[in-house]
């Protein structure tokens, strides 16, 4: 299951040292509903290798503002606490897998 990323925990999550994938989403967003199940699958498939999280942009404006999230879904890929890749909009699982494999 994907970790809930909030204003209060995102800095600790990024400081853990593992690659991190964060899905910025909102409950009212149609494309987010398509990406959500893929993110959950990736969280299970890559458990122990990377941290996969979901951040509700409506409830966590601090995180969203810090990373300049303007469109959702936006998935950010972090390595060593720095953004190394980004995916805006709904795409197939294979696109996410390719980006995750580059993190490992």
Round to whole Å and give the CA distance between 93 and 97. Answer: 6
Domain count of the fold of the chain:
1
Q: How many C-beta neighbours within 10 Å does residue 98 have?
A: 11
- Could you tell me the CATH number of the domain that includes residue 78? 3.40.30.10
Domain that holds residue 9: 3-103
What the block records as the tokens of 16 is 């853990």
Residue by residue, pLDDT tens for the chain (104 residues) are 999 999 999 999 999 889 999 999 999 999 999 999 999 999 999 999 999 999 999 999 999 999 999 999 999 999 999 999 999 999 999 999 999 999 99
Q: Which residues of 72-96 are buried (b: 16+ CB within 10 A; e: fewer)?
A: bbbbbbbbeeeeeeebeebbeeeeb
pLDDT at 97: 97
Classify residue 62 by burial, with Cβ atoms within 10 Å: 0-12, 13-18, 19+: exposed
Residues with a catalytic annotation lie at: 29, 32
pLDDT at 10: 96
pLDDT at 78: 97
pLDDT at 76: 98
């Amino acid at each position: 299951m994907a970790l809930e990323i909030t204003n209060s925990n995102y800095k600790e999550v990024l400081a853990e040292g593992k690659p991190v994938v964060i899905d910025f989403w909102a409950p009212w967003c149609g494309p987010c509903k398509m990406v959500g199940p893929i993110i959950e699958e990736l969280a299970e498939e890559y458990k122990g290798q990377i941290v996969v999280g979901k951040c509700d942009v409506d409830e966590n404006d601090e995180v969203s503002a810090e990373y300049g999230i303007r469109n959702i879904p936006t998935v950010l890929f972090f390595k060593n606490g720095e953004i190394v890749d980004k995916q805006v909009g709904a795409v197939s699982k294979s696109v996410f897998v390719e980006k995750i494999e580059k993190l490992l």
